């Protein structure tokens, strides 16, 4: 049975990078009848916050992802202590007493000699008596994992054959002076205990994987497989574009982006397949982790908006009405939905049909707009009104094509382009139409 996990830390809101890791794990599990675990890496009690934890559940749910089980690292401190004791007993976890200044001095000395800043394992040479003395003197150790000689190798499901020499990395600190276990360690203990079969995460974890493979080997014979997603450039933290103001899921939601557009976009980002407006349930059917390439994709807000536009175009009124201006009707939604990049733009069209808007003066269209006012049909108005009106107006003035339609659109909406006028006109109504024509023709 395939079992994967996504393991966000509740230290901030989920951004597109987290969303992608969650989505790819989800699709991987769902496409193979596997199990998808949501694990909270919440051992950092200084930076973690309960509201971020709740936001993780909310944002993933909003995105459309469901998980089969969840776990919190903060529930498992006793288990981490137990495994740490095992590693101490076999000598793989050893106590170190260097303080931050001493470690910094060691690093500076190595850097001066143009050597990589790798821990010198001085603490491994401490005798039991020296350790005892240090403890007696009130020094509290941090604990490092003694890496094996040699190297870590694995066949990455995305990056291919990987090899990291252990001599190029420091023995990792797994337990701090204050006894808190660190991510490098807790993640492996969890992956072993939860019987995770595939670890799918960002490429920034490749060095962790090398080190963690050695820790896995000290604890179990059943190693998971690994897949590292090349990091998205332009999608972490910085402002994405003028219209998509934030790379956090929260921000995108507020900006009026549909969750389906995000999942459709992220599922294909970094693959050779073009982005397409495919719903999540369909993405499962065609998902293949081998589609991901080895190079870093660029987050392109325009592509995301183009997908969003396609999804909005087909959304029924019922699924958006709570997010439309109050009193907005189904006819209004059907009139505008084909013209929105973002749902938030609905507000602007609501003003066009329902409120006062400013429209530019058109002094050179005075005669034409007066004729438009004269030929305005009586109410009731419906789907045919625009056609009837503009035909009459064309006959009266001889105007056709752009000369006929453009001054009217500009006078009635204040915009150069937008939804079909035939649909907008009855929503604007005769009174506002007449008033705007009069004002513009003045
Ligand atoms: N908490 C880690 C992160 O968010 C988890 C990495 C992993 O998947 O092991 O980067």
Ligand 1 neighbour 8 (Cβ under 6 A)? yes
Q: How confident is the model at residue 245 (pLDDT cuts 50, 70, 90)?
A: low
Q: With 50 as the cut, is the pLDDT of residue 237 above it?
A: no
Residue 304 belongs to a domain: no
pLDDT at 244: 55
Ligand 1 pocket test target in 38, 201, 204, 227 with most atoms within 8 Å of CB: 201
| CA–CA gap between residue 194 and residue 188 (Å, rounded) | 10
Could you tell me what percent of the chain has a pLDDT over 70? 97
- For the chain, give the mean pLDDT: 94
DSSP element (H, E) containing 438: helix 421-441
| CA–CA gap between residue 146 and residue 148 (Å, rounded) | 7
pLDDT in tens, 314-360: 999 999 999 999 999 999 999 999 999 999 999 999 999 999 999 99
Ligand 1 pocket test target in 7, 14, 74 with most atoms within 8 Å of CB: 7
Q: Among 175, 196, 230, give the residue marking a domain's end.
A: 175
| CB-CB contact of 381 with 426 (8 Å) | yes
Ligand 1 neighbour 187 (Cβ under 6 A)? yes
Ligand 1 neighbour 211 (Cβ under 6 A)? no
Compute, in angstroms, the gap from residue 383 CA to the centroid of ligand 1: 55
Residue 43 belongs to a domain: no
Ligand 1 pocket test target in 3, 4, 41 with most atoms within 8 Å of CB: 41
Structure token digits, residue 298 = 């660029």
Angle at which helix 385-397 crosses helix 421-441, to 10 degrees, equals 50
Q: Among 175, 197, 222, give the residue marking a domain's end.
A: 175
Compute, in angstroms, the gap from residue 20 CA to the centroid of ligand 1: 12
Ligand 1 neighbour 9 (Cβ under 6 A)? yes
> For the chain, how many structural domains are there in total?
2
Q: What is the pTM of this model?
A: 0.90
Structure token digits, residue 400 = 């056709």
Ligand 1 neighbour 201 (Cβ under 6 A)? yes
Measuring from atom 10 of ligand 1, which residue has the nearest CA?
8
Ligand 1 neighbour 17 (Cβ under 6 A)? no
Instruction: Output the domain CATH number for residue 114.
Output: 3.90.800.10
Measuring from atom 4 of ligand 1, which residue has the nearest CA?
8
Q: How confident is the model at residue 247 (pLDDT cuts 50, 70, 90)?
A: confident
- Residue 117: give the domain boundaries: 78-145+167-175
Residue 11 belongs to a domain: no
Residue 123 belongs to a domain: yes
Instruction: Output the domain CATH number for residue 339.
Output: 1.10.10.350
Of the candidates 21, 81, 76, 84, the residue with the CA atom closest to the CA atom of residue 43: 76
Ligand 1 pocket test target in 187, 188, 198 with most atoms within 8 Å of CB: 187
Q: With 50 as the cut, is the pLDDT of residue 235 above it?
A: no
Residue 99 belongs to a domain: yes
Ligand 1 neighbour 35 (Cβ under 6 A)? no
Residue 384 belongs to a domain: yes
| Cβ count within 10 A of residue 104 | 12
Structure token digits, residue 408 = 């009217």
Measuring from atom 3 of ligand 1, which residue has the nearest CA?
8
Counting from 1 in the atom list of ligand 1, the atom nearest the Cα of 18 is 4
Sign of the Cα pseudo-torsion (372, 377, 383, 384, in order):
negative
Residue 109 belongs to a domain: yes
Average pLDDT over residues 50-67: 97
pLDDT in tens, 169-222: 999 999 999 999 999 999 999 999 999 999 999 999 999 999 999 999 999 999
Q: With 50 as the cut, is the pLDDT of residue 240 above it?
A: no
| CB-CB contact of 226 with 198 (8 Å) | yes
Ligand 1 neighbour 7 (Cβ under 6 A)? yes
Residue 101 belongs to a domain: yes
* CB proximity list for 350: less than 8 A, separation 6 or greater: 324, 325, 328, 332
Structure token digits, residue 337 = 């939905």
Ligand 1 neighbour 10 (Cβ under 6 A)? no
Is 364 exposed, middle or buried (CB count within 10 Å of its CB: 0-12, 13-18, 19+)? exposed
Structure token digits, residue 101 = 């200044």
Residue bearing tokens 């929105």 = 340
pLDDT in tens, 9-20: 999 999 999 999
Average pLDDT over residues 294-312: 93
Is residue 34 helix, strand or coil? coil
pLDDT at 246: 64
Point out which residues pair with 360 in neighbouring strands: none
Q: How confident is the model at residue 419 (pLDDT cuts 50, 70, 90)?
A: very high
Counting from 1 in the atom list of ligand 1, the atom nearest the Cα of 7 is 5
DSSP structure class, residue 233: B
Compute, in angstroms, the gap from residue 355 CA to the centroid of ligand 1: 49
Q: Among 175, 195, 220, give the residue marking a domain's end.
A: 175
Structure token digits, residue 193 = 């205990």
């Amino acid at each position: 049975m395939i079992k994967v996990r996504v393991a966000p830390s509740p230290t901030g809101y989920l951004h597109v990078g987290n969303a992608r890791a969650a989505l790819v794990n989800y699709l991987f599990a769902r496409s193979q009848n596997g199990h998808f675990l949501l694990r909270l890496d919440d051992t950092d009690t200084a930076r973690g916050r309960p509201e971020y934890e709740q936001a993780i559940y909310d944002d993933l749910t909003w995105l459309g992802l469901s998980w089969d089980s969840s776990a919190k690292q903060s529930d498992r401190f006793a288990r981490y202590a137990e495994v740490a004791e095992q590693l101490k007993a076999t000598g793989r976890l050893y106590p170190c007493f260097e303080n931050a200044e001493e470690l910094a001095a060691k690093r500076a000395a190595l850097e001066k000699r143009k050597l990589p800043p790798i821990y010198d394992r001085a603490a491994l040479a401490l005798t039991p008596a020296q350790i005892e003395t240090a403890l007696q003197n009130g020094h509290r150790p941090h604990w490092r994992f003694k890496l094996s000689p040699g190297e870590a190798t694995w066949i990455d499901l995305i990056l291919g054959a990987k090899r990291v020499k252990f001599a190029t990395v420091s023995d990792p600190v797994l337990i701090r002076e204050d006894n808190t276990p660190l991510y490098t360690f807790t993640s492996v203990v969890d992956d072993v205990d939860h019987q995770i079969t595939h670890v799918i995460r960002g490429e920034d974890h490749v060095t962790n994987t090398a080190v963690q493979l050695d820790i896995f080997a000290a604890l179990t014979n059943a190693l998971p497989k690994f897949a590292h997603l090349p990091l998205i450039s332009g999608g972490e933290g910085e402002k994405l574009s003028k219209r998509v103001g934030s790379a956090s899921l929260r921000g995108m939601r507020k900006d009026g982006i549909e969750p389906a557009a995000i999942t459709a976009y992220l599922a294909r980002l970094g693959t050779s397949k073009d982005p397409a407006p495919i719903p999540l349930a369909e993405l499962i059917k065609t998902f293949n982790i081998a589609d991901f390439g080895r190079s870093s994709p660029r987050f392109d807000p325009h592509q995301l908006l183009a997908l969003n536009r396609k999804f909005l175009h087909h959304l029924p009124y019922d699924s958006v009405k709570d997010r439309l201006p109050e009193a907005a009707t189904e006819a209004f939604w059907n009139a505008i939905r084909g013209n929105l990049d973002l749902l938030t733009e609905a507000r602007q069209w609501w003003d066009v049909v329902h409120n006062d808007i400013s429209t530019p003066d058109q002094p050179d269209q005075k005669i034409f707009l007066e004729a438009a006012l004269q030929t305005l049909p009586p109410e009731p108005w419906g789907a045919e009104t625009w056609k009837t009106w503009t035909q009459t107006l064309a006959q009266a003035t001889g105007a056709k094509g752009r000369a006929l339609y453009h001054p009217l659109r500009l006078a009635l909406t204040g915009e150069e382009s937008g939804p079909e006028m035939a649909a907008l006109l009855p929503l604007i109504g005769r009174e506002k139409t007449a008033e705007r024509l009069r004002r513009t023709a003045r």
